[in-house]
Structure 1
Amino acid sequence: MTGERERSVRGRGHWRHRLRRTTLAALLTAAVVLPLSAATQPRIPAPAPAALSAPLTPGAVTTAYQANRENAAEAARMAAAHGDLSRAAADRALASPSRRLLHFDARGTGQATEVFGDLAHAGRVAVLVPGSDTTLDTYARFHTAAESLYRRLAHGHPRTRTAVVAWLGYRTPATISTTVLTPGRADQAAPHLRDFIGELHTLTAPGPAAVALLCHSYGTVVCARTAPALTGLGVTDIALVGSPGTGADSVRALHTSARVWAARGAGDWIAEVPHVTADLFGTTVGFGTDPVSPAFGARVFAAGAGGHSDYFTPGSVSLANLARIVLGETTEVTRA
């Protein structure tokens, strides 16, 4: 009976492995076929980014905010003239006098780096790194997530000087595309994220702030690719939420001294993504070990019953724990 049971267990394990590889192959096939029509979409005209001093200095931050708002207003006018009213509205919202844009580029799918709070005097800074389908056209969702975290930090801990940065500093992949299944976009993004964290390191006073990287979905792959280059830049914590995998087998493989956290909501569909890598059609597809698994070795925290887009929902378990991570209240983080 024991031998039969062992063979049965091995058989089920082999079947699950084949199913995961088959599912991964199906995802890649769908990703190749479905987005072909998107390639015919016309480009939206947009101005070149505002000319700013580089590297950005604390004294030039206010000037950068103003210049980028003016650039966003010009982008809105150009998009409207082109007939793209949706992009025009998104650009116009970013041109509002209340917005604080460290960086802005309306060309293509667009990029923006927005600050919430007084960055210059913050002792703790959260940097949000988004996942797939985050563009200027969908930026409002990302803005809402960052604003939700900032309100939690500012209202719940008014004596701690905090700031939140929404970093859309790379061209995110589409959810249905070949790029979302491979690390290519993350490899392109990693040096830009590293450069931004380096810039951030010089923008806070009286000394460098403690930085927590909060990475969502495909953004967790970006953070994993960047992690080894962040030594000495004040990154104390890296939180991976809703991750499809990072491309690393374990926390040790990230080569970081930062605390590494991971969480997944009970209703998050990302749990169904196969946590394997495979060589399909000459391309490495998939991101390997599940970050919430014991094998990965992250500090797994509770994320409640939420779905893939719910980690920053006001009042949620996940938001409360992410705020504690940003504040360095590690003993208060509730574990899964």
Structure 2
Amino acid sequence: MLLRFRRALAATAITVGALAGAGGWAAADTQRAVTGPPPGSAAWVADTTLGVRPPDPANAPPAEVAAFLAALPAGQRDALAARHPLVVGNLDGAPPALRYRANALALAEELDKERARATDPALTAQDHAAARARAERYRTLLADGRQILAFDPRGRGQVAEVYGDLTTARHTAVVVPGSDIDLMSFDRAGETFGTPAGMARSLLDATGRRAAAGSTAVVAWAGYTTPVGVGLDAATENLARAGADRLGRLLTGLAVTTGPAAPATVFCHSYGSVVCGLARPGPDQASNVVVLGSPGMGVDGADRLDARVPLWATERNGSDWIGGVPHVSVLGLGHGADPTAAGFGARLLPSAGSHGHTGYFAPGTASLAAFADLTLGRTPAGAS
């Protein structure tokens, strides 16, 4: 017993030490996960102007939401979106186009608030600078042609953006990111393929080269509170558990609202693979689950996931620092077995040509080619 305990402590120390050394320890504050229904939900539920109580965003299944909205004339749906933009914009099961309109309204309202804060004499110069940065962020998200599927200003902010047409696409994909992604950074410049937006755009381009243009839509999803840096949040499952609930609702909502498209192929990068492992999507939510740059999935093997959804693990390239993180789970630290290991039970995807922790979606890589094939419902070349 004592020997096992000492080994557990040693493994824990190794895990923390590897995280500190491999990724560059970030001594950031522990993050508080944004959970629960979107802001304004109480007013939404209490709004009976249509003679019926709207479904509660806290617990109504996306299918119930879809049925409620489908029974309303278009004008009434738009009126609800105008009165409750933050709710409708985040309402899984609502038609994508309605969510885009609602989020545009919500972003415009938040833009006005931040512009006012930027000149509020009661606030500090630091507050003014933060407000200007947020206002600029909202302004860019309001640019013509952007399709914002989710927007929540709470905490560090959450956002999801659609590339392609969800209502007509025959194939869909969702990109689930890892650490350091939030409202301000989900499409940051300078790291083209290391953000969910960059990954989504690259995947859309790759599928477009293999199939008819417009056949695919990809969701860049920064819809959960991610760890900041490679610290204790990144070594534990706390944020992943909260994210898994949100991811599950998103996938169920997409399956309800995307018409002829098959359930999404879900790409889970780095800590995002822990979110996907804990979400355990079923065949009504996902066609495939793909992990890349994974520290583990929070499970001991593929047999702990839904066997009806194929699991694919991308071979780690030699310059991906995640390879230095021990695949253990001890005393709440670490995320368990390596999904690329032979005994885990995942099918392997090639990654030739990729470099670093964020290079798997780069054009010309075997990994991106395999991702595109999977999204299109094809067996990837080089898979094993």
TM-score category (smaller protein): 0.7 to 0.9
Equivalent residue runs for 1:41-60 within 5 Å: 50-52=86-88, 54=91, 56-58=93-95
CA drift at 1:313: 1.4
Instruction: Say whether residues 1:136 and 2:127 are aligned partners.
Output: no
| 8 Å CA contact retained: 2:19, 2:325 | no
Checking the alignment, whether the CA contact within 8 Å between 1:70 and 1:95 is kept in structure 2 is no
1:210 to 232, 249, 263: 263
CA displacement at 1:162 relative to structure 2: 1.2
Cα deviation digits, residues 247-274 of structure 1 (max 9, x gap): 2111111133111101122211000001
TM superposition shift of 1:77: 4.2
Shift of 1:232: 4.2
In structure 2, list runs of 5 or more residues that go unmatched: 1-6, 32-38, 41-84, 119-127, 188-194
1:120 to partner: Cα distance: 0.9
Give 1:7's aligned residue. none
Task: Identify the residue that residue 126 of structure 1 maps to in structure 2.
Answer: 173
Q: Deviations over 1:197-253 (max 9, x none)?
A: 111111122x352321110000000000111xx324141210000000112111111
Q: Which residue of 1 aligns with 2:273?
A: 220
The 2-side partners of 1:188 and 1:209 are apart by 26
Find the counterpart in structure 1 of residue 238 from structure 2.
184
Q: Give the alignment partner of residue 170 of structure 1, picking from 224, 229, 232.
A: 224
Segments of 5+ residues of structure 1 without an aligned counterpart are 1-15, 40-46
Aligned to 1:83: 129
Deviation at 1:190, TM superposition (A): 1.2
Structure 2 match to 1:24: 15
* Cα root mean square deviation, aligned: 2.7
Partner of 1:66: helix, strand, or coil?
Answer: helix
Corresponding residue of 2:363: 314
Q: Which has the higher strand share?
A: 1
How far apart, CA to CA, are the structure 1 residues paired with 2:232 and 2:10? 20
Instruction: Give, in whole Å, the separation in 2 of the partners of 1:251 and 1:329.
Output: 21
2:43 alignment partner in structure 1: none
- Measure the CA separation in 2 of the matches of 1:193 and 1:28: 25
- Contact 1:87 1:136 (C-alpha < 8 Å) held by counterparts: no
2:322 equivalent among 252, 255, 270 = 270
Cα shift readout 1:41-67 (whole Å, capped 9, x = no counterpart) = xxxxxx966242855333xx3232122
Q: 1:165–1:278: structure 2 CA closer, same or farther, 3 Å change rule?
A: same
Instruction: Tell me the SS of whatever aligns to 2:102.
Output: helix
Structure 1 203/88 Cα, relative in aligned 2: closer, same or farther at 3 Å? same
Kindly provide the CA deviation profile for residues 53-99 of structure 1, in whole angstroms up to 9, marking residues without a partner as x: 855333xx323212212322333444452322433333222111211
Amino acid in the other structure paired with 1:50: L
Distance change in 2, residues 1:300/1:216 (3 Å): same
Q: Tell me which amino acid in the other structure corresponds to 1:106.
A: P
**Contact kept in structure 1, 2:18 and 2:324, CA below 8 Å:** no
Task: Report the Cα distance in structure 2 between the residues aligned to 1:55 and 1:237, rounded to whole angstroms.
Answer: 20
- Give 2:140's aligned residue: 93
Specify whether residues 33 and 118 from structure 1 end up closer, same or farther in structure 2 by C-alpha distance, changes over 3 A only: closer
Letter in 2 for 1:175: G
AA aligned to 1:52 is: V
Tell me how far apart the structure 2 counterparts of residues 306 and 29 of structure 1 sit (CA, whole Å).
21
1:289 paired residue number: 337
Kindly indicate whether the alpha-carbon contact (under 8 Å) linking 2:175 and 2:218 is maintained by their aligned counterparts in 1.
Answer: yes
* SS in structure 1 at match of 2:27: helix
TM-score, normalising length from structure 2?
Answer: 0.72
